[in-house]
Amino acid sequence: MIAVDTNILVYAHRNESPWHESAKSVIRALVEEVAVWAIPWPCIHEFLTVVTNPKIHRPPTPMRLALDQVDAWLESGRIVFIGETERHWEVLGSVLLGGAALAAQVHDGRIAAICLQHGVSEFWTADRDFSRFPALKVRNPLVG
């Protein structure tokens, strides 16, 4: 199963992004061609936070439109939202130690741990910081 990070979702949603068309194409391919794909719950929360933030986007996406975007992904019927399991604490500790994660990197470690708990085979992100977690296979689908 492929899981998608916040940045890919934001780029696909916000048409002023220089990566908008590439990200939109990547998400469209997941929606139309992949049996099941995933978004970690923290990435959904972060997506809503980023696209509706007037300090980041002018104008920001209205919350109703941001929620509608998430609903549109859900309508594909091929998506699952993934979150912490009962093994989260054990997996999180291992991921954080294995990736020597500190401070803000703990958030990325949480996402990596969630992906590992759900058997994600590949995590798609444009954020190179995820490469610090060797147990998680990471790929940037926006570059060749």
What is the 3-state secondary structure of 1-16? CEEECHHHHHHHHCCC
Q: Which residues contact 65 (CB under 8 A, 6 or more apart)?
A: none
Report d(CA 106, CA 98) in Å as an integer: 12
Residue 144 located in a structural domain: no
What number of other Cβ atoms are within 10 A of residue 77's Cβ? 7
Beta bridge partners of 81: 39
Residue 17 located in a structural domain: yes
pTM confidence score: 0.95
Residue 48 located in a structural domain: yes
Residue 110 located in a structural domain: no
pLDDT for position 42: 98
pLDDT for position 144: 72
Domain of 66, in residue numbers: 2-82+119-139
Residue 100 located in a structural domain: no
Residue 71 located in a structural domain: yes
Residue 125 located in a structural domain: yes
pLDDT for position 110: 98
Task: Report yes or no: 84 and 114 within 8 Å, Cβ to Cβ.
Answer: yes
Low-confidence residues in the chain, pLDDT < 70: none
**DSSP letter for each residue of 111-129:** HHHHHHHTT-SEEE-S-GG
pLDDT for position 35: 87
Helix (H) or strand (E) segment spanning residue 122? strand 122-124
Beta bridge partners of 122: 2
Say which CATH number the domain at 29 has.
3.40.50.1010
Give Cα 47 to chain centroid, integer Å. 8
Residue 91 located in a structural domain: no
**Domains held by the chain: number:** 1
